[in-house]
Chain A
Amino acid sequence: MNSLRLFFTQNLGLLLAILMFAVLYSTYASLHPSFGMNVVLQNGNETLALILVGMAQTMAVLVGGLDLSVGPLMTLTNCFGSIVMAGTGGSIVLGIIACMALGAACGFMNGCIIVYGRIQPIIATLATGAIFLGLALLLRPTPGGAIDGDFAWAFTNDINELGYTYGWWEDLGFLGKIPMQPIFLVAIILLVWVPYKRSALGRGAYAIGSNAHAAYMSGVRIDRSKIAAFTLAGFFAGCAGIYLTMQMGSGNADAPQAAEYTLRSIATVVIGGTSLYGGVGGVIGTIFGALVLRSISFIFRVVPESAALGFVASPLLQPFFEGLILLFAVSLGAARVLRVRNRLSLFT
C-alpha cells in the first residue's frame, strides 16, 4: 500500500505526461482515416530526434543547468554524419561510432567550460552552440551528402524491412512489424540511461540538482558528476544527429531548425515532469513529453475540415495551439500556487 502511494507521489509528473500522451494519441488514432503500424512508424520517425534532444536537455536540467547547445550539436553531428557515414557496410558503423564520440566530446567540452571556467551553463552553452553551428556550416556549407540508401531505409523502418534489405530474414509476422525507433530508444535506455542512473555519477547528478551544497558536504564528486552529465547530454544530442542523418540521408547546417530543437527540448523536459530547478525527474518522462508535443501536431493533420471544430484544423493554426497547450500544461502547476497558505514558500 505504502509502495503504491510512494510510486504515485514520486512519479506524478511522469504519470501526468503518460496520461496526456494517451489521451492525445488515442484521439489522433481514432480520427485517423487509416491508422495502422505504418502510421505509427511515420510518427516514430518524426519524433525520435526530438526525444533524443529532449533526453540530452534532461541531463543538463537534472543538475540544475540548461544546455542551449543541444540543437546545434545535433546539427553538427548531422553534418559530420553525412560525411563519415557515407560509406557502406562496416565503415557506416565506424561512422556512427565517430558521431557518438563527437557528440560526447563536445558535451565534455561544455562540461569542462562550465565546471573549470565557473560559467553558468546557460551562457556557456549559448556560446558553444554558436561554435557548433559554425563548425556544422564548415562541414556542410550547403545541404548535401548522401548516405547509403539501403542502410537509411533499413534502419528507419521496421524489423521486417531490415531483414528484407539485407536478406537476413523473411517476414517475421507481428514481431516484424515493430518499428526500429522504439528499439533504438529501448537500447539507449537500457545500455546508457539505466546504468548511468544507477552509477555514482548519475546519483551525484540528482544530488547536485537537489541541493549542491549538501551534495558537496556528503562527499559527492561535484565536478565529475557535472562533467559527466554534460558529456552524456552531448552523447544524446549526437545520437539525435545520427538519427537525423539516417532519416534525411544527408546533412544540413540548418540554424533555425537547431534553435527550434533546442527550445522544444526544454518544453519536452518540463512536460515530462522534470523540475527545471533540478534533482527531480528523468528521461522516461522526457520521452513522453516529446510524444505529447508531437501528438499535438499530428492531431492537426487529421482533424476533418468538416467537423464542428474543423476551422481549428488549419495547419496555419498549429503553432498557435502548440504554444497554448504548452502554456496550459505548465500553468497546471499554478494550482499549487493558489493553494499555498504560507506565501513565503513561493520564493524557495
Chain B
Amino acid sequence: MSLRIDMPILIGLVFIAIILAAGTSYTMVTQGTATFVSPNYLLQQLHFGAFLGMTAAGMMMVILLGHIDLSVPWTLTTCAMVATAVGGVGGDVTGLLTGLLIGLVNGIGVAVLRVPSMIFTLGINTVLLGLMVMLTGGYAPQNEATDVMLFLGRDRTLGVPHSVVVWLAVSAAVIFVLTRTPLGRYMYAIGNQEAAAYLSGVRSRLVIIAAFVMCSLCAAIAGLSLAGYSSRAFQAMGDTYLLPSIAAVVLGGTNILGGQGRYSGTVVGVILIVLLQSMLSIMQMEEAYRQVIYGAVIILMLLIYSRSRKQASA
C-alpha cells in the first residue's frame, strides 16, 4: 500500500551497488573499459538471469505460505522435455499443462494430505526425475525447442531479450496477485497463522494448492524459455536453479517461515545473485572461489539483516 522501502531491499540495493562498483573497477584496471556496467553486458546478464527470476517468483509464492518446493528443478526440466518432445504450439501448451498438473499434485500432498512440503516435493522431484529418465532412456533428448520457446528464450527485439520481458510479465502477474487479489491476502494470512485464516473463513487448502500451482507454472515458463535459450531441453537443466531461487527470495527479505515479504525484494535478490555470479565470472574466478564467495556473501547479508532487525526491535 505505502511505498516504503524495507530494510532487506535497501541492503540488497547497497550490495548491488557494491558489486557493480567492484566489477567495474576490476574491468577498468584489467581491460581499461567499464564492460561491467555497459548496457549490453547488463542486458546479457539479465537475459540469462530472467530464468532465475521466473523460478524465484514461483518459489516466493510457496515460501510466503511457510512452505517450500524442492521439486522445482525437475518440474522445470520435465515441462521443457515434455514440451520439446511433443513439439509445436501443442508442445508449449502441454508443457504448461504439465506444470499445472505437477503443482496440483504438490498442492494436494501438502494441503490435503498434510505431508511436510519439504519432503513431499522432494519425493515428487525424484518421481519426475525417474519419469524423465524412463522416457529418455537416460540420454539427452534430441528434440529441438519449439518456435515459441526460441522466441521467448533466445530472441531479442531492439536488443531487449524477450526472456526479460517474460520475466517482467510474470512479475506483473505476481505483484497483481499478491497486492490486489483476495488470494494474495490469504496467502500472507496463511503464512502467518493458518488457524486464524481458516477460522476467518478462508479456504486454506485451496489457497495452498493455488500457490503450488503458481510455483510450478513459473517453473514451467522458466523451463520452456530456458529450453529456447539453449535450443533444446537437457537433463538436469533445472538443477542450478533450486538453491539460488531460494536464496534470492530470502535475500529479498521474505521470511523463510512464511507470511512476510515483498515481491520487489525478490527482484532485488535475483539481480543481486545474477550480478554476483557474473562479477565472479568476469573476474575469471575459479569455480572453487566462486562458491566460497557466493556463500560468504549470502551469510554476510543475512547477518546484516538480522542485526538491523535486532536494532529495529530494540
Contact = CB atoms under 8 A, between A and B. Distances in A.
**Chains A and B in contact, CB within 8 Å:** yes
Nearest to B204: A347
A323 interface: yes
B195 A320 contact: no
B291 A133 contact: yes
Interface string B273-314: 000000000000011111111111011001100100110000
Interface in A84-112: none
A267 B122 contact: yes
Interface in B225-279: 236, 239, 243, 246-247, 250, 256-257
Given A66-B118, A122-B256, A316-B137, A130 B130 contact: no
Interface in A273-287: 276
A333 B247 CA distance: 30
Interface stretch (B27-35, B40-48, B108-116): B108-116
Overall SS of chain A's interface: helix
A289 to B, nearest CB: 12
A130 B295 contact: yes
A276 B119 contact: yes
A263 B114 contact: no
Contacts of A320: 126-127, 129-131, 133-134
A326 B115 CA distance: 11
Contacts of A136: 288
Contacts of B247: 123, 126-127
A188 interface: no
A192 interface: no
Contact of A326 (B126, B128, B199): B126
B194 A347 contact: yes
A126 B123 contact: no
B251 to A, nearest CB: 9
Interface in A315-348: 316-324, 326-327, 330-331, 333-334, 337, 343-344, 346-348
A138 interface: yes
A131 B133 contact: no
A330 B130 CA distance: 18
A123 B256 contact: yes
Nearest to B299: A127
Contact of A119 (B114, B120, B290, B306): B306
Q: How large is the interface on B (under 10, 10 to 19, 20 to 34, 35 or more residues)?
A: 35 or more
Contacts of B114: 333-334, 337, 346
Interface in A290-333: 314, 316-324, 326-327, 330-331, 333
Contacts of B122: 263, 266-267, 326
30 contacts: A119-B303, A123-B298, A126-B246, A128-B299, A130-B291, A130-B292, A132-B295, A133-B291, A134-B289, A135-B292, A138-B292, A141-B288, A253-B288, A317-B130, A317-B134, A319-B127, A319-B133, A320-B130, A320-B131, A323-B123, A323-B126, A326-B123, A327-B109, A327-B120, A327-B127, A330-B119, A333-B115, A343-B198, A344-B198, A347-B195
Interface of A: 66, 68, 113, 117-120, 122-124, 126-138, 141, 253, 256, 259, 263, 266-267, 270, 276, 314, 316-324, 326-327, 330-331, 333-334, 337, 343-344, 346-348
Given A131-B292, A134-B290, A344-B198, 18 more contacts: A68-B243, A123-B246, A123-B298, A124-B302, A130-B291, A131-B291, A134-B287, A134-B288, A263-B70, A317-B134, A318-B130, A323-B125, A323-B128, A327-B120, A327-B123, A331-B113, A333-B113, A337-B112
